[in-house]
Amino acid sequence: MLAFVVRHSLLLMFLIAVLGFLLPGISLAIFPFLPIVLFFLMALTLLGMKQKLLVERLKSFAVWRYALLHSFMMMLVVALFAKLLSFDHDLLLAVVGVAATGSLFATPAIIRALGFDSLGAMAMTIASTLLLPISIMMALLLFQEGRIDLDLVTYFIRLVIFIFGPMLISFIVHGFCPEEKLQRVLAKISPYTILLVFAFPFGLVGSFRLLFDEDPWMALNYFLIAIGLCCIFFGLAYCFYQRCGKAVALTAALTSANRNVLLTYSIAGGLLGPAFLPMVGALQIPTSVLPVIVRWLNKVLKD
């Protein structure tokens, strides 16, 4: 059964997102537990990476150039589009908050399933995640109206727990456990991480369903905006890296489009306004479709 789930994980991710929309009660019940799932997913993903090779990748200027594109360039482009389309303040803050968000920690697993460079995707993911405190603070300073009532102590505690905590655990375990034994254990555990990945589209889409029940027309607008955001993130990253070859371009594009919005919400909370969670929910369906699209593009595009 698990082998079937792993083999069809890309399609199942989309179906899980749709199921969460159809079962909003269960989706909303799971939502409070998602930060715990996020912590373990980040830790398990990092444990599965060879630390020395990962650190070498993180020393590369190319990785940090990607992170700047992922965060600040996308924030600028999204803010310009939002201004041109006359988004209200709450919606503007929500879409810029999404653009400030680092890549999803499940992305390397998806990249691996597509046959691309998962280690490179992990380096990009970590770099964009490390920039998150700066990018999200910039988004709040520029686009949140009035005084920013940010509890810095709570903010940094959340940063330590959700970003630096999993990284520290990974380095400690790799430092004290024999590599061969660790890899055997991880080989048994890693297939189950896909079940953790499924929790996010299912648990996050419920807030979008609430908006749909309250105002279907506004929900449709949010859904179209979510599709537009995915297209911007994916399209710009692909164009920027196209000269590096198809595999690199598709890896960068998918890494850019997959956004760890729950991490941003866990760190910044309600500071991102009432539109952020419904927008996050709306993003789950187009985001979950992207891996299937990338698999198709990989077949039809030429290097």
Mean pLDDT for the chain overall: 85
Query: Of all residues in the chain, what percent carry a pLDDT higher than 90?
Result: 38
pLDDT digits (tens, 9 = 90+) for 210-264: 999 999 999 999 999 999 999 999 999 999 999 888 889 999 999 999 998 888 8
More confident call, 148 vs 251:
251
pLDDT band at 181 (very low <50, low <70, confident <90, very high): confident
Sorted by where each starts, the structural domains of the chain and their CATH numbers stand as: 2-300 (1.20.1530.20)
More confident call, 208 vs 112:
208
* pLDDT, position 230: 95
pLDDT digits (tens, 9 = 90+) for 37-90: 888 887 887 787 777 778 888 888 999 999 999 999 999 999 999 999 999 989
Residue 149, Ramachandran bin (φ over 0: left; ψ between -120 and 50: alpha; else beta): beta
Cβ atoms within 10 Å, residue 115: 10
* pLDDT, position 25: 92
Rounded Cα–Cα distance for residues 34 and 254 (Å): 22
For the segment 158-165, the average pLDDT, to the nearest whole number, is 75
* pLDDT, position 152: 62
For the segment 292-302, the average pLDDT, to the nearest whole number, is 83
For the segment 2-19, the average pLDDT, to the nearest whole number, is 77
Rounded Cα–Cα distance for residues 44 and 196 (Å): 10
Q: Is the pLDDT of residue 8 over 60?
A: yes
Q: Is the pLDDT of residue 147 over 60?
A: no
SS3 205: coil
More confident call, 158 vs 148:
158
CB 41 within 8 A of CB 162: no
CB 221 within 8 A of CB 38: no
By the 10 Å C-beta count (0-12 exposed, 13-18 middle, 19+ buried), 238 is classed as buried
**Residues belonging to the chain:** 303
Cβ atoms within 10 Å, residue 248: 17
Give 265's contacts (C-beta < 8 A, 6+ positions apart).
Answer: 272, 276, 277, 280
More confident call, 85 vs 2:
85
* pLDDT, position 297: 87
